[in-house]
Structure formats: C-alpha cells, structure tokens
C-alpha cells in the first residue's frame, strides 16, 4: 500500500491516459458522424439509435464491471475492461450498416463503463479526502482531453487513410496501454483482500437513500456531456455550416475548456477543504454554482456567429465538468472504499438509462424541429441532478444538521 501511495500521482497519470484513449474511442463515431451518415444514409433518429446502443451497453455493463473492480481489484479489472472495449472499437472498421455499428457500439459500451468504476476506485484508495476531488478532476479531465484531441486526430486519419482506419488506431492504443498499467500499478495491496470480501450486498446498498441520491444525481448530469460529445460535431456541421476541416480546427475548443473545468472543479474543492469548509458545503457551493453557469447553453441558439456559439458551448462544458468532478467526489463522500466500485456502477446504470433515452429524444427533437429545445434541457439538467443528491442523501442531511447544531 505504501508503494502505491508513493507512486499515486504516476498511477493517476496512467488512468488519466486510459481515459483519454477511452474518449478518443467514443468520439471517433461522433467526429465521423457527418461522413458516416452520408455514406450509410442515416438520419438523425437512426444515428440517435446507434448512440443509444452504446449507452445500452454502458447500462448493461456497469454493475458487472463495478463488481469486477470490487471483487478482483483494479489491476485485473481495468486490464480486462480496456482489452474488451478496444476489441469492439477496432471491430467498427468492419461495420457495413447502421445495425452493425449499433451492435459494435453496444459491445464497446459494456467495457468502457469500467473506466469510471475502476478509476474512481483507484483514486479513492490512493488519495485522502482533501486531495481526492482534485485527483478525480484530473482523472475525469481525461475525457475532455480525449474529446479535444479526437477531432484533429480523427479528421487527419479520415482525410489521409479513410474512416475505417480512424477506428483501428485508438483500438491499438488501448491494447498498448494494458502492459503499461500492469507494470506500473503492480501487485494489488494486501488490504484489497478485505475489500473483496465485503459483507454488504448490492441489494443492501440499494436500500439506502445514498444509492438513490447518487443515481438520481447522475441520471440528470450524465447525459449532458454525452450530448456535447455525440451531437456537437453534427451541430457545428449541419447548423453552423462548418466544413470537416473547420471542425478539425475549431471543434476542439469547447472540449479544451472542459479540460480546464474538470481540473478547476477538483482544485476548488481542495481549496475549500483546506480552509475548513465542510465536505457537504464544498459540494453544495461548487455543484450549485457550476450548474447555474451550465444554463448559458440556452443562449447558444441565439448566437449568430459560429465562433460565439463555440465559446458559449465551451463555457457550458467547462461548468459541467466542474460539476462532474464533484459528482464523482460525492460518491466517495457517501460510500466506504469497499463499496465505491459498485456505487459508481449504480450511478452508471442510472446514467446509462438516461443516456439511452436522451439520444433517442434528441434525434426526434432535431428531426422534427431544431437543437434549441435540447440546449434548454442540457442547461437545466445539472441543477436538477445537483439538487437531487442533497435532497435525497440522508448522510448529507445529517451533516447539515450536525453543522447547524455546532453553529447554534
């Protein structure tokens, strides 16, 4: 355990790296969406079904992956998850129609959900509470780095080698990551054996208000970034009339701002913790504050200039990642280490369910009208999710009553 703690920032860097790879994998489809939809004659509803197939895979894989991380540890668990989803990523190069893309994306989703259950569990094990949210913010910012660099990388591969090679390259990156992780993480610490044999069952966890609090939280917050990941490239091409070249040059800006938001959300939590602010008030200040800024997405359809729209989207993504870093921090607040993998899996089930429904709804709304109602929805959903965790969690309410009695 001491060796792991001494190497914790290096290990954090490795799970940050696999998160980058994970989101290059995910973004490949959305970046290629304008080309794939033309090539395979897909409308918005059909594309929405492909996105939903991935989310159904996430929904199906969350609990098995969370159980795997708690049962066998993150060294084995993450290795298996990365190899599993990398196989699915590479298989997409052989897809010949929308149905095959949907099947491969489902397979991919059953593995990619392990990135978060394994990553959150690793951070919980290695970092104290005052540093944990910053570490979670850095880990989670890998999603934005992946989304940022996916645009120029995928556009380059598309223009020089075709869209099929664009699926193969990130798949190979995942395969190459596994031996690096296996070597650097090393042997699971002996304390892990206690974790593996936790007596708290999943059914018992589901009986607690904390489980429903975090599931409700992620049900509303999770689909927001999924909308930005999977639909913004299409929005910029279809509505803002960007070429694929312009998308490669400008489309990364919102996701770069999201990178900064993930780190800023973690840093702000650590800053407040070190100044004596209670954990529940840290989460409340940052999550409510970030959620209010997320509402700027409602102004995107009113912005005439394409660059102005890109910057507004980027600001909303920045704020959403501030919220998301503390969303994962809330899971570690409310559950002991031996339950974190499964607790993260439970939130993933809730996020997967909303992520399954939201792309279908988005496709219908866009086909029948415009993106404007969707931007309104993603503007208010983080606030609803943030309110849910504080209203439903018994532990957060107890902390509030304890703090009130101390200051009375």
Helix (H, G, I), strand (E, B) or coil at 254: helix
Model confidence over 96-122: pLDDT tens digits?
888 899 999 999 999 998 998 898 888
Please indicate, yes or no, if residue 366 is contained in any of the structural domains.
Answer: yes
Task: Output DSSP code: residue 305.
Answer: S
Q: Is 339 exposed, middle or buried (0-12, 13-18, 19+ CB in 10 A)?
A: buried
Residue 38: pLDDT band (50, 70, 90) is confident
Note whether 85 and 356 are within 8 A (CB): no
Please indicate, yes or no, if residue 196 is contained in any of the structural domains.
Answer: no
Please indicate, yes or no, if residue 119 is contained in any of the structural domains.
Answer: yes
* Res 183 pLDDT > 60: yes
Note whether 232 and 143 are within 8 A (CB): no
If one compares 24 and 356, the residue with the highest pLDDT of the two is: 24
| The predicted structure's pLDDT at residue 289 | 96
Please indicate, yes or no, if residue 212 is contained in any of the structural domains.
Answer: yes
Please indicate, yes or no, if residue 192 is contained in any of the structural domains.
Answer: no
Residue 203 CB contacts under 8 Å (≥ 6 apart), including other chains: none
Residue 189: pLDDT band (50, 70, 90) is low
**How many whole angstroms separate alpha carbon 10 and alpha carbon 180?**
11
**How many whole angstroms separate alpha carbon 326 and alpha carbon 335?**
14
Quote the number of domains for the chain: 1
- List the CATH number of the domain containing 363: 1.20.1250.20
**How many whole angstroms separate alpha carbon 52 and alpha carbon 261?**
26
Task: Output DSSP code: residue 228.
Answer: H
Residue-range definition of the domain harbouring residue 264: 2-183+202-403
Please indicate, yes or no, if residue 408 is contained in any of the structural domains.
Answer: no
Residues 258-271 have a mean pLDDT of: 87
Please indicate, yes or no, if residue 188 is contained in any of the structural domains.
Answer: no
Task: Kindly write down the DSSP assignment for every residue of 337-402, as one continuous string.
Answer: HHHHHHHHHHHHHHHHHHHHHHHHHHHHHHHHS-SHHHHHHHHHHHHHHHHHHHHH-HHHHHHHHH
Geometric angle at alpha carbon 244, from 242 and 250, rounded to 5°: 65
The chain-wide mean pLDDT, for the chain, equals: 86
Helix (H, G, I), strand (E, B) or coil at 190: coil
**How many whole angstroms separate alpha carbon 295 and alpha carbon 329?**
22
Residues 322-328 have a mean pLDDT of: 90
- CB burial readout 260-294, b (16+ within 10 A) else e: bbbbbbbbbbbebbeeeeebbebbbebbebbbebb
Tokens 């998160």, residue located: 19
Residue 197: pLDDT band (50, 70, 90) is very low
Note whether 229 and 30 are within 8 A (CB): yes
Note whether 213 and 121 are within 8 A (CB): no
Half-sphere exposure of 39 (CA within 13 A, CB side): 13
């Amino acid at each position: 355990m001491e060796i792991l703690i001494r190497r914790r920032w290096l290990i954090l860097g490795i799970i940050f790296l696999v998160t980058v790879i994970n989101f290059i994998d995910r973004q490949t489809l959305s970046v290629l969406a304008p080309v794939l939809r033309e090539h395979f004659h897909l409308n918005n509803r059909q594309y929405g079904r492909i996105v939903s197939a991935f989310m159904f895979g996430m929904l199906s894989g969350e609990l098995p992956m969370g159980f795997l991380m708690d049962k066998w540890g993150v060294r084995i668990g993450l290795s298996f998850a990365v190899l599993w989803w990398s196989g699915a990523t590479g298989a997409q190069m052989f897809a010949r129609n929308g149905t095959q893309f949907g099947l491969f994306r489902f397979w991919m989703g059953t593995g990619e959900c392990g990135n978060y259950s394994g990553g959150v569990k690793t951070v919980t094990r290695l970092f104290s509470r005052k540093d944990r949210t910053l570490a979670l913010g850095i880990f989670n910012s890998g999603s934005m780095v992946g989304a940022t660099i996916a645009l120029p990388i995928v556009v380059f591969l598309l223009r020089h080698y075709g869209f099929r090679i664009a699926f193969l390259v990130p798949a190979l990156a995942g395969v190459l990551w596994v031996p690096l992780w296996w070597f650097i993480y090393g042997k699971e610490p002996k304390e892990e054996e206690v974790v593996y044999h936790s007596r708290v069952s999943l059914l018992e966890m589901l009986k607690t208000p904390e489980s429903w609090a975090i599931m409700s939280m992620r049900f509303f917050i999770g689909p927001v970034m999924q909308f930005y990941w999977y639909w913004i490239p299409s929005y910029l091409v279809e509505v803002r009339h960007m070429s694929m070249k312009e998308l490669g040059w400008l489309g990364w800006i919102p996701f770069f701002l999201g990178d900064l938001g993930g780190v800023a959300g973690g840093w702000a939590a650590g800053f407040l913790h070190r100044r004596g602010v209670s954990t529940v008030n840290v989460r409340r200040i940052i999550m409510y504050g970030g959620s209010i800024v997320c509402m700027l997405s409602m102004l995107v359809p009113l912005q005439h200039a394409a660059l102005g729209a890109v910057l507004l989207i980027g600001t909303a993504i920045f704020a959403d990642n501030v919220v998301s870093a503390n969303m994962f921090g809330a899971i570690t607040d409310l559950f002991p280490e031996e339950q974190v993998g499964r607790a993260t899996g439970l939130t993933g089930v809730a996020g997967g369910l909303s992520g399954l429904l939201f792309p279908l709804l988005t496709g219908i709304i866009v086909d029948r009208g415009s993106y404007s109602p969707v931007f309104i929805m993603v503007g208010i959903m983080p606030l609803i999710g943030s309110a849910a965790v504080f209203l439903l969690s018994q532990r957060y309410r107890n902390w509030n009553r304890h703090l009130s009695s101390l200051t009375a």
